């Protein structure tokens, strides 16, 4: 059983009332609402998660829910939460929050459905709470997120816990890690813009002088530099350093003059420069939190760099993340673990392409229409979908769109030159040229220029 288009529209209307939208064309809600309406019908089982409303009992079909979650992007998951809340007066995230400590699937669903900045802020808070600080998690969040993302995480942290991350790091973390992490957290204030390679060259020279000019490394200069450069700029500095001096900056930090501070700085620098290797190393470590680490990394890096992490992991172990997931969740008779394993493997294989497909249809197609070919009468002939594109799409994407339209032909018209002199036109007027490609749901069947 599936939810029809009309039922979707009804749901959207309820959501509009719930979050105070006057009409479905109100910015910024037009994109997520209409994108959701264009998506394949959601299984009715999703809307029946709260099947027994009269008694207030909530039953969740984990298998069905996993199928829904693994095909959704964070923006769409937020809309699903709003829809569910409007329909049933319950927050899905709250339902999973109550059971995540004792249920592997609830934990995975909670991490997946939570908004990225809210999720990362909570992870950092938990790593700073309790008797022992989890430095690995702090480094993971602070050093692998973009500066713009880190800024949002800091705002969410302050909003939820009425204090700044910097304050908690100052109180809970000691030694060189405290100074370095504080510098990284401050650096996100400078987010935005492309890396300045000229500045990167100058900063690389500054780093070299800080390392070589005295008997000990100049810690203050290095910390000051890190705090004033965003993540993208810092990566450019590290690239420039290798170009100028023939070796990685992290290698220079191995010197005896760098001491303990150098060892700690090297961990941070390597994490910023090669996050995929940092994650792969975390996954290879044997500890009691192996499932939690595996679940967290796969979910938080899905659609970002999970493929790179998979390659880095395979290079060191000769095995893939798919196999690691299967091994980690196979040693149990609990059927829920099998569902979690399938869910994580799906994310590793990048199921998020489904949402990106529909979002790209909205953003990349100037016009999406339907025509009837080989006829001069309405509702006859062969139906075809026609998409006018700003630029040539990847064949995989074009085929996926055609498969979703699921009609005899889907045509793509792309401007291939801005203009071209027509040999027979008077006064040498300019005529545009286009490339036409058409696909059936199964394969491309032709292309030519017009």
Q: Which residues are annotated as a binding site for Ca(2+)?
A: 286, 288, 328
Query: Quick count: other Cβ atoms within 10 Å of Cβ 339?
Result: 21
> Which of these, 167, 370, 153, 139, lies nearest to 269 by C-alpha position?
139
Cβ atoms of residues 43 and 68 within 8 Å? yes
- In angstroms, the Cα distances linking 196 to 16, 123, 224 are 44, 32, 18
DSSP H or E run through 324 = helix 321-330
Structure tokens at 64: 């069905």
Find, among 323, 318, 243, 311, the residue nearest to 280 by Cα.
Answer: 311
Rounded Cα distance between 143 and 220, Å, is 20
- 159: CB partners within 8 A, 6+ apart: none
DSSP for 296-335, please give it.
Answer: HHHHHHTTTTHHHHHHHHHHHHSS-HHHHHHHHHHS-S-H
Contact 318, 361 (CB under 8 A): no
Cα-Cα-Cα-Cα dihedral sign, residues 110, 116, 117, 121: positive
CB 385 within 8 A of CB 410: yes
Q: Which residues are annotated as a binding site?
A: 286, 288, 328
Cα separations in angstroms, 200 against 1, 206, 209, 224, 435 = 58, 10, 14, 15, 42
Instruction: In whole angstroms, give the CA distance from residue 33 to residue 365.
Output: 18
Widest CA span in the chain: 88
- The β-bridge partners of 373 are 382
* 384: its two tokens: 């075809």
First to last CA, the chain: 44
Phi, psi angles (nearest 5°) of residue 368? -125, 115
Contact 198/238 with Cβ under 8 angstroms? no
């Amino acid at each position: 059983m599936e939810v029809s288009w009309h039922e979707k529209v009804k749901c959207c209307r309820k959501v509009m009332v719930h979050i105070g939208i006057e009409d479905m064309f109100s910015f910024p809600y037009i994109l997520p609402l209409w994108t959701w309406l264009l998506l394949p019908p959601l299984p009715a089982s999703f809307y029946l998660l709260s099947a027994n409303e009269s008694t207030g009992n909530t039953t969740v079909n984990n298998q069905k829910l996993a199928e829904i979650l693994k095909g959704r992007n964070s923006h769409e998951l937020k809309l699903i939460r709003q829809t569910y809340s409007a329909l049933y007066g319950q927050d899905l995230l709250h339902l999973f929050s109550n059971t995540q400590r004792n249920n592997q699937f609830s934990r995975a669903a909670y991490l997946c459905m939570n908004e990225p900045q809210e999720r990362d802020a909570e992870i950092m808070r938990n790593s700073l709470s309790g008797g022992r600080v989890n430095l690995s998690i702090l480094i993971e969040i602070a050093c692998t997120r973009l500066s713009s993302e880190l800024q949002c995480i800091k705002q969410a942290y302050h909003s939820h816990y009425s204090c700044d991350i910097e304050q908690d790091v100052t109180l809970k973390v000691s030694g060189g890690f405290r100074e370095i992490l504080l510098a990284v957290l401050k650096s996100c204030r400078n987010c935005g813009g492309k890396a300045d390679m000229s500045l990167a060259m100058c900063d690389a020279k500054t780093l070299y002088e800080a390392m070589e000019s005295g008997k000990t490394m100049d810690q203050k200069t290095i910390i000051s530099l890190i705090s004033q450069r965003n993540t993208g700029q810092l990566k450019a500095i590290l690239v420039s350093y290798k170009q100028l001096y023939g070796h990685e900056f992290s290698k220079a930090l191995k010197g005896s003059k760098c001491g303990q501070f150098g060892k700690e700085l090297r961990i941070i620098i390597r994490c910023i420069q090669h996050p995929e290797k940092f994650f792969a190393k975390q996954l290879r470590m044997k500890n009691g939190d192996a499932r939690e680490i595996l679940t967290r990394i796969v979910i938080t890096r899905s659609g970002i760099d999970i493929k790179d992490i998979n390659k880095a992991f395979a290079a060191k172990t000769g095995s893939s993340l798919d196999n690691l997931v299967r091994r980690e969740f196979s040693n149990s008779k609990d059927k829920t673990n099998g569902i979690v394993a399938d869910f994580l493997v799906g994310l590793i294989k990048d199921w998020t392409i489904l949402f990106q497909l529909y979002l790209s249809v909205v953003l990349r197609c100037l016009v999406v229409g339907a025509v009837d070919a080989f006829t001069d009468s309405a509702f006859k002939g062969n139906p075809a979908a026609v998409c006018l594109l700003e630029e040539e799409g990847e064949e995989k994407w074009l085929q996926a769109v055609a498969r979703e339209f699921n009609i005899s032909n889907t045509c793509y018209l792309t401007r291939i030159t801005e203009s071209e002199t027509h040999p027979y036109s008077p006064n040498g007027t300019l005529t545009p040229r286009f490339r036409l490609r058409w696909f059936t749901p199964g394969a491309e069947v032709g292309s030519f220029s017009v």
